[in-house]
Amino acid sequence: MLSTVLVVLPIFALIFAGWLARRIGVLGAAATTELNRFVVFLALPALLFDVTAHAHWSAIWKPGFIGAFGLSSLAVFALTVLIRRGEGRPLADAAVDGLNSGYANTGFMGFPLALVAFGPEALAPTTVAAILTVCGVFAVAIVLIETGLRREAAASGRSGPRMPVWRSVGRSLMRNPLLVAPALGALVPSAGLTVPESAETFLKLLGGAAAPCALVALGLFLAQTRHAGGGQGRTAALLVGLKLALHPLLAYGLGRYLFDLPPLLLHTAVLMAALPTGTGPFMLAEFYRREADLTATVVLVSTVLAIVTVSAYLSAIA
């Protein structure tokens, strides 16, 4: 329990730093948007490129783990999108909510927790989980968000009257750094190339800013005066429940009964799925101006509750 708290504490400290900076006036009202744009267009693409460029595919190719964690993440994401669409939410908002329940905080919390709980042997599958989350689930959500936005624009007459939705979405995706960066990074090991030392230093410096800046931006947003929408508490509870309960249960069921994973891979898959919602959904919600208030609440509440749920799981398998 104490080790889990010690891992989560710096995350809360960064969120609190952003909240305090906004409250005392050190950073102004525009800081949230500008800091988030820095993360989306510079820091996070550098991190994604660096991760995929240095991925040792032969060492991390674990089909059963990929199936258990990847399918559970996509299943929770898809279920949430269907539920929210059934409630009348636009596709873009439903996609953000899908991330809220299916996007685990593998990058910020996964590696330190896996190392504490299972040792260095768990770092390879944790890398797989991080790649699936930030490059797989994230990409699907961006496609749906872009599709929803283009349909809304076409319906309101703000876009070209005869441009097909798929073509407009495709053009947007090809200019999206969160998809282009990991795709380009994956070409490096595939072509047998290496990243030059100077470029490596650049990527490490810039990519290292993604996590703290995203958390500070979340704190800045939480410090703003917000007006809760009707039913937001119920929706947040649903999304947190899907993330902290259904996601790890699906990962466990798939890992044990369908893919018959060995204990290390099984427990790592469940631990990754049991992590709270990461800051990725908040960055997208704020960037696209979609439900950032609800997303911030889900990130915060799920992180707090995960201290109990993750600790309980680790205690149960000890």
Whole-number pLDDT of residue 240: 95
pLDDT digits (tens, 9 = 90+) for 190-211: 888 888 999 999 999 998 888 7
Backbone angles phi, psi at 196, to 5 degrees: -60, 150
Whether 277 and 305 have beta carbons less than 8 Å apart is answered as: no
Report whether pLDDT(17) > 70: yes
Domain containing 111 equals 2-317
- Cβ neighbors of 296 (< 8 A, separation 6 or more) are 218, 221, 222, 282
**What pLDDT, on the 0 to 100 scale, is given for residue 172?**
65
Please tell me the predicted confidence (pLDDT) of residue 66.
94
Residues 34-84: pLDDT tens digits?
A: 888 888 889 888 888 888 888 777 767 889 999 999 999 999 999 999 999
Structural domains of the chain, count: 1
Q: Given a cut of 90, is residue 273 above it in pLDDT?
A: yes
The answer on pLDDT for 229 being more than 60 is no
Per-residue pLDDT tens digits for 74-119: 999 999 999 999 998 899 999 999 999 999 988 777 887 888 788 8
Most confident of the ranges 90-104, 135-149, 272-286 = 90-104
Tell me which range, 37-46, 118-127, 248-257, is most confidently predicted by mean pLDDT: 248-257
Q: Which CATH number belongs to the domain containing residue 84 in this structure?
A: 1.20.1530.20
**Statement: residue 174 has pLDDT above 90:** no
Show the CA angle centred on residue 304, arms to residues 303 and 310, nearest 5°: 75
Q: How far is CA 245 from CA 18, 171, 172, 173, 242, in A?
A: 29, 37, 34, 32, 6
Residue 166, pLDDT score: 63
The SS3 call for residue 28 is coil
Angstrom distance (rounded) from CA 138 to CA 149: 16
State the average pLDDT for the chain: 84
